[in-house]
Structure 1
């Protein structure tokens, strides 16, 4: 992979080889480029552009040219391109995206290896900028980690319209085997979901990828169901609070406009009781899990409901206090 050379002050790339790489990159971004627009993008004359196009053709690339209004230059599809060409801003975007993706995958080292390979071929200035940006950006809470193999299998089944088989554990801890027609993979809040038609249950369902295992892409090709669009809209609806085993009610000491975004996710209720005091209502199936994420709330809060969550939070507090050697901070 190469990064594009820095243009001169006139906006053109003066080195013919570097300009050819830039031209190849631009041709890959659009199906057709009008000649004057492409010449202006490169900062060269139409005559120089024609020479650069001929240079690509001599290298074995098929560049079609259609004269007249509505015509232009087009790189014929299906050709092998040289090492990926990125400018400095594009390289930075890829760096940030890979760093964020590492938070979504159980194999975070895959993203780190990719970042190391990109860093190795960046010019010193671009590499320093990318590394400084990563160091200054906290992406540790980007999302719940998901197995990359499960994500890839779900995406593959969705793309090729192949039925999937997998083991699943629902929010009550019940295990089941599923046979589904996958239609959409999405990330909402911090969780990855698969929207699919459950063949055995003859109903649309939404499955959390972190609760799936042994995902297998089958050979059965399915047709998109007539009600798919409407059903996919429904799967985006938040889980109703009554679906959870435990309702959790907190009083949080913060202005409602400063409340964390997650307090409005997945059907939760957030309302202002008085200036500086909010009531937050949500649900959970696991009091210990709820106690864990409640410690991430940066404001003072009181658990109003329920007793199981309050007890789990107290036990977690005692564990943390023991971990700190029993030390209590003076107030």
Structure 2
């Protein structure tokens, strides 16, 4: 366990024992470090305005002040997008009261993002289209999306970077392409990248479960467009689910 992890764990350890002051020796034994190390850790936490109180004597020890509150959640843009998708898709299918409760919770979580992340988060949301679920069964050849592939695709969309992919179409033909991923269409169960395909010099939709490999090109930035304009069929055939406000 490195020092940053230990500092966090000390806070959690004390927070879970609000009525029981802990001695420095007990903390040292618990974290398998020296008493001197614990003294230094407590000093660092106090320097960061963590309210750690102490009392001497037989019944003394240290404890976390009741005024302590958890710091803002350190979400990445990808994590925030993931939470938003779970909330939005779920809220469209459950009664209004739980939906309102979820909305309040989501607003609190997302408001914890720093202002620069909030701006970027709002920008990315405009390029995520939640489509009406397909009524037909998932084709038997469909597979689970590779987590590494998804991370690269998500990063390319968030950072507006070109993406190199190895793709297999519905009959198994394999090609390598460089694309500009302008957004994501979630038409559950399939998920699609809405992109401009350099190979065809035309807009294309690529099913994520058919992408065999994906790699972001960190040096190639492109100007993003609304995916509804890139693939006009999204609007033409009313593929988008009405989820209300996107904020």
TM-score when scaled to structure 1? 0.30
Q: Which structure's CA Rg is the greater one?
A: 1
TM-score when scaled to structure 2? 0.38
| Relative contact order, higher structure (CA 8 A, sep 6+) | 2
